[in-house]
Amino acid sequence: MLRIELAPNEKVRQTIGLDYRYDVKTQSFGSEEYKVRVSTYELGGGRILSNLLSSPLCSSNLSEMASICIVLDLSKKKAGNCVESLLFWLTQVRKCVNKSLAELKA
């Protein structure tokens, strides 16, 4: 498993819009070591920005994607219905992935 940790001097900041980061990590598999490029897209700012999902979930990125993680902020008192939010984001991700898969097939 690849584990990514914040540097001691790195602070967590709120994301508004689409943020892209990458890093190169060394991963050991048995006695072999490999360099692995880890790309991370983070979308923050709410449902109004859901159309930005099409950038990281485009057909050129989809073939190299390993996972998609949906994170819901439970710390806010007005977080609303988390199940409904999760279903919204799952639907948006599914739409983008299906569109990209159709483009790859064409």
Other CB atoms within 10 Å distance of the CB of residue 100: 19
pTM of the model: 0.71
Which structural domain range is residue 93 located in?
Answer: 17-105
**Would residue 6 count as lying in a domain?**
no
Tokens of 44: 């923050």
**Would residue 1 count as lying in a domain?**
no
How, if at all, do strands 32-44 and 17-29 pair? Answer: antiparallel
Work out how many domains the chain is built from and give that number: 1
> Which string of b and e fits 35-55 if b means at least 16 CB within 10 Å?
eeeeeebebeeeeeebebbee
**Would residue 87 count as lying in a domain?**
yes
Q: What is the pLDDT of residues 44-91, one digit of tens each?
A: 888 898 999 998 998 888 878 778 888 887 776 665 678 888 899 999
